[in-house]
């Protein structure tokens, strides 16, 4: 039976990325050695990380004056690296979910941290609007896609102060204007690579402005100077990221990724909106293209566990919703084919017909 991987992360990768990574584990670049055992200082791996950096720049159209870094520690490490490097007097955060809240918590340890707006009282079912970004803050931090609650900021914000964005789960899902951001970061295990890697895109001229001592490993300038090789980088995830970037380019780049992501999201949201049994949890204008969250309508609540069993038996893997929301969550990242989304829709229809 075919499995359809709707897991939120670590999540689906393109099949050819998995196959090429598996081959590299056995024999990397016809070297007779595994990617797991080669030196990160070898010419073969230096070529991998250089090409991955070049494809980041090409696919995202990153302007000059920005550095691309590949680091360990995941996005959660960035929650403290950002204030270490950018926080001087005050920081501003938009609170749109669990990860935004965790990022803000780290900043509070550095000084005055302003919550510009929050949708917490509504269980993060929408993206706050009509807020004012404080111009006296050192930076404004947003989380563009909220995996747990299924909301997403789909346009690049105009900010009067340096804009920093956690794009862990929607990077490479649409064209974007990198020049509007001071820093973009994320964990790679949603839309790019296996777990263990964080990417950072940072505007060089904004670094070195804080008066505090920054621990060497937490200083972005350290990693820029060493080309992400200050310490041993996560070699295998970087290789997989390179193969994913090649796959994105070969499949039409970000314009084509966005087109396919819109089609997949519309297919599933239409099924939810026209259902007698299911209902979406996020406000329609803020719905995520990456993570579709939905629940049973109150009159069918007793069937919630039954549908999960039914869908799992039909090959739908990873659709159980986060414990803070309940219900179901279908993560439909770049590598998710529309055929799998259709299979989930068919599964929903079949269950409805049986009840």
For residue 276, give the 3-state DSSP assignment.
coil
- Residues 230 and 35: their CA atoms lie apart, in Å, by 19
Cβ pair 91, 107 in contact under 8 A: yes
Annotated active-site residue 99? The verdict is yes
Task: Give the integer Cα–Cα distance in Å for 98 and 114.
Answer: 16
Q: What is the DSSP string of 195-216?
A: SS-EEEEEEGGGSS---S---G
Provide the token pair at 5.
Answer: 């991987």
Instruction: Tell the burial category of 142 from Cβ atoms under 10 Å away from its Cβ (0-12, 13-18, 19+).
Output: buried
Residues contacting residue 249 through CB under 8 Å, at least 6 positions apart: 55, 58, 59
Instruction: Tell me, yes or no, if 190 is annotated catalytic.
Output: yes
The answer to whether the beta carbons of residues 108 and 123 sit under 8 Å apart is no
Show the tokens assigned to 186: 């994320």
Catalytic residue among 20, 138, 170, 190: 190
Helix (H) or strand (E) holding 46: helix 43-60
Tokens 């070195």 belong to 208
Pick the catalytic residue: 166, 170, 264, 286?
166
Find residue 68's DSSP bridge partners: 201
The pair of three-digit structure tokens given for residue 39, joined into one six-digit string:
């030196």
If we measure between CA atoms, which residue out of 64, 106, 59 comes closest to residue 87?
106
Q: By the 8 A CB rule, do 7 and 169 touch?
A: no
Active-site residues: which are they?
99, 166, 190
């Amino acid at each position: 039976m075919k499995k359809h991987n709707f897991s939120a992360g670590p999540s689906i990768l393109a099949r050819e990325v998995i196959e090429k990574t598996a081959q590299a584990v056995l024999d990397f670049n016809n070297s007779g050695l595994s990617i797991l055992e080669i030196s990160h200082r070898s010419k073969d791996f230096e070529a991998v990380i250089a090409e991955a950096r070049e494809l980041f720049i090409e696919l995202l159209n990153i302007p000059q004056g920005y550095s691309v870094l590949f680091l360990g520690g995941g996005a959660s490490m960035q929650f403290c690296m950002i204030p270490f490097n950018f926080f001087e007097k005050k920081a501003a955060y938009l609170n749109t979910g669990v990860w935004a809240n965790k990022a803000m918590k780290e900043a509070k340890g550095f000084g005055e941290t302003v919550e510009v707006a929050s949708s917490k009282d509504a269980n993060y079912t929408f993206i706050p609007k009509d807020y004012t970004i404080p111009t006296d803050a050192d930076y404004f931090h947003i989380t563009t896609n909220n995996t747990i609650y299924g909301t997403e900021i789909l346009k690049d914000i105009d900010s009067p102060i340096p804009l920093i964005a956690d794009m862990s789960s929607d990077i490479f899902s649409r064209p974007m204007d990198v020049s509007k951001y001071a820093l973009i970061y994320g964990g790679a295990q949603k839309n790019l690579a296996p777990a263990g890697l964080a990417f950072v895109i940072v505007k060089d001229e904004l670094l070195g402005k804080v008066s505090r001592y920054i621990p060497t490993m937490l200083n972005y300038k350290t990693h820029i100077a060493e080309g992400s090789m200050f310490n041993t980088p996560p070699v295998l995830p970087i290789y997989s990221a390179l193969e994913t970037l090649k796959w994105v380019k070969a499949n039409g780049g970000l314009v084509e990724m966005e087109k396919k992501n819109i089609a997949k999201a519309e297919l599933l949201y239409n099924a939810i909106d026209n259902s007698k049994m299911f209902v979406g949890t996020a406000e329609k204008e803020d719905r995520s293209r990456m993570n579709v969250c939905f629940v049973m309508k109150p009159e069918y609540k007793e069937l919630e566990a039954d549908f999960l069993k039914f869908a799992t038996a039909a090959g739908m893997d990873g659709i159980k919703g986060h414990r803070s929301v309940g219900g179901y969550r279908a993560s439909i990242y770049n590598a998710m084919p529309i055929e799998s989304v259709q299979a989930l829709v068919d599964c929903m229809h079949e269950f409805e017909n049986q009840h």
